Chains A and B, each alone.
Chain A
Amino acid sequence: MDALSGFFAVLDATLRVSTPLVLAAMAGLFSERSGIVDISLEGKMLASAFAAAAVAAVTGSAWLALGTGILVGIALALVHGFACITHRGNQVVSGLAINILASGLTVVLGIAWFSQGGQTPALGSDARFMPIDLPLVDAVSSIPFIGQFYGDVISGHNVLVYLSWLAVFGTWWVVYRTRFGLRLRAVGENPLAVDTAGLSVSRLRYCAVAICGALAGVAGAYLSTAQNASFVREMTAGQGYIALAALIFGKWRPVPALLACLMFGFLDAVAIRLQGVVLPVIGEVPVQAIQALPYVLTVILLAGFIGRATAPKAVGIPYLKER
């Protein structure tokens, strides 16, 4: 029984740490499926995390914070779109610029506004997204395995965690079951064909990057107002890149990307538990090895040693309308 609750605790932690990854991976999916490379997930998350924490600290409203996070995410996405879609600039350079800008600006503004070394003030529980208990937790708790699983793992998260599950379903539905999704996939594979069909490549791509910005904004707001109770400098700590890795690992599809995020989240949750533990046969596993694993796995996948990761064909190529 003890081992079981320990295992459930790890699963519970997995869901919590993979939520920002899931949201960011879905964000990246929209952008990359439309043909716009997005290495700026990291920067968008960081800027949104700061904006959300700042608004929550001032207004005390978690929902207003979430809204601001989304707006900041969209604003940065539009900068990215302006550079890559309107001016056909290099998408990697633009993404990198946004990451670096966000990394500097969040600290500069944080110090100017709150003078706490770049941090925002600690948020009270009413300015944060707090864990909520799902219905029937007490009623089913007596059922052995399932009841405990429901109570310990499924229930007791904040609303953004549940929203992230909805985001995966929503992404799947939009991308595979709607007309917009069909066009989105088409513009990422063959923009010329979309253009020939009389649709605006630019407008589709702007829509896609805006959705991407909004989702990355939720991911950022989650970091500073749900998972933690304030903004800390560089608090994304590479999670935007891990989300990108998960997106590639999931071969640019929602459900496999979700599974990749859960796997990376699980590794992270396990890494904390394994600190200093000596395993049979392997011995003590260095935490750094587990932390580096998502990156190593992505490289191995990209090299084609475990299946093939085929990106949307037009990704990274600016579209020039023939004159």
Chain B
Amino acid sequence: MSINTSSIPLPAWLEIGLIPVLNILMALFFSGLIMLAIGVNPVEAVGIMINGAFGYDEAIGYTLYYTTNFIFTGLAVAVAFHANLFNIGGEGQAYIGGLGVGLVFLTLDQYLPTLLLIPLGIIAAGVFGAAWAFIPAWLQAYRGSHIVITTIMFNFIASSIMVYLLVNVLIKPGQMSPETRAFDESAWMPFMHEFLGWFGMEVTRSPLNMSLFFALLCSVFVWVYIWRTRWGYELRTSGQSEDAARYAGIKPKAVIITAMCISGALAGFVAVNEIMGVHHRLLLNFPAGYGFTGIAVSLMGRNHPVGIIMASLLFGVLYQGGAELAFEIPTITREMVVAIQGLIILFSGALALMLRPWVVKVYLKFKPVDEVVAA
């Protein structure tokens, strides 16, 4: 009789250490095959990417700037995941978060000092992102519509709204390209090279700004929220079994709405990095797929803030290294990174358990079955 491998417990270092690493290696192996297919030496490519991501301080700045976006969207997906909700709408929530920042700054940037503007911008990004996630959440909780489908639809609706607003309403008068006027400098999130400059450190200009600190702060907040508060406990319970949660006196509807609003706010914070930190104006398509990458980041990071920070860093390396790769090798473009991202989602997400039976088999070679089952 063959044993059912899925019921055999594995020690943590195998379950959350080795198996995810094997999954990523599978994804990278197939990425290597794609590179071979288009006539690029994968080993050389990896070298260029690593140098392009870490080789000089400007590169590190770019890598960490991308990392910041992925931390926000990765945390957004993870918070929803813990409540057993799949938020595919990060893209739209980030976009609408940008609208919040834009509206606040376009009205107030002439009147208020930096110390008030920056917190206001962050709050606006969060509130608008949360509001855009609230509607699908409410529809799921009270009308039974499925969050996956509604958040997909809301991405498209957000995109239509933003195109309309930028082309017809918010556009800087007398300008062809659909973007708003630049915000007053008092509303800019300080760049990291400026910040470090205050302490006398010379760093090359890069888009990296102080949003990175805010992203790390959000990671701590998410960890505390999910594992150290009553609300987090309710969220996880409700995520694992709605019936059990209801029996324990938890209101799953309220949990759905809270989780999605926090998730939406986190996704909205992408606008803090992009709009407040880098572009300093509202423009089309600034979320550029970060919302979707957040899904890969969250899957790779096993929905834990520490894992998400590490996965974000890896994706930061992929993005910045990929840009360098596109620059060095003409046959490769940045879309290579998109393909790698697809493979990572496939192997770390959908096929996450593919290798587990093999790992269990090898593990059982070293440990008698009775002992494992008894434990």
Chain A positions within 8 Å of B, measured between CB atoms, are 37, 39, 79, 82-84, 87-94, 96-105, 107-109, 111-113, 115, 118, 238, 241, 244-245, 248, 286, 288-289, 291-292, 295-296, 298-299, 302-305, 311, 323
Contacts and interface: CB of A to CB of B under 8 A. Distances in A.
B292 interface: yes
Nearest to B162: A288
Contact of B156 (A91, A93, A292): A292
B115 interface: no
A158 B157 CA distance: 32
Given A87-B353, A112-B38, A302-B139, A98 B342 contact: yes
Interface in B319-371: 331-333, 335-343, 345-346, 349-354
Contacts of A298: 149, 153
B338 A39 contact: no
A130 B154 CA distance: 36
Contacts of B156: 238, 241, 292, 295
Contacts of B34: 105, 108
24 contacts: A82-B351, A83-B346, A87-B351, A87-B353, A89-B350, A92-B148, A96-B292, A97-B345, A98-B346, A100-B341, A107-B333, A107-B335, A108-B339, A111-B335, A118-B333, A245-B153, A288-B160, A288-B161, A295-B157, A298-B153, A302-B146, A304-B144, A304-B145, A305-B143
Given A39-B152, A97-B350, 11 more contacts: A79-B346, A89-B352, A94-B350, A100-B292, A100-B342, A103-B342, A104-B335, A108-B34, A112-B39, A292-B157, A299-B157
A289 B164 contact: yes
10 nearest A-B residue pairs (beta carbon)? A101-B342, A104-B338, A104-B339, A94-B350, A302-B145, A89-B350, A112-B38, A100-B342, A97-B346, A292-B160
Contact of B343 (A97, A113, A115, A296): A97
B339 A101 contact: yes
Contact of B38 (A39, A79, A101, A108): A108
Contacts of A303: 139, 143, 145
B318 to A, nearest CB: 11
Contacts of B146: 302, 311
Contacts of A108: 34, 38, 332-333, 335-336, 339
B86 interface: yes
B114 interface: no
B46 interface: no
A101 B296 CA distance: 12
B149 A83 contact: no
Interface residues of B, number: 49
B51 interface: no
B339 to A, nearest CB: 3
B335 A286 contact: no
A305 B143 CA distance: 9
A296 B161 CA distance: 12
Contacts of B333: 107-108, 111, 118
Of the listed residues B143, B156, B350, the one surrounded by the most CB atoms of chain A closer than 10 A to its CB is B350
Contacts of A286: 164, 168
B101 interface: no
A97 B26 CA distance: 14
A104 B336 contact: yes
B349 A97 contact: yes
Contact of A248 (B139, B149, B164): B149
B370 to A, nearest CB: 19
A292 B161 contact: yes
Interface string B159-174: 0110110001000000
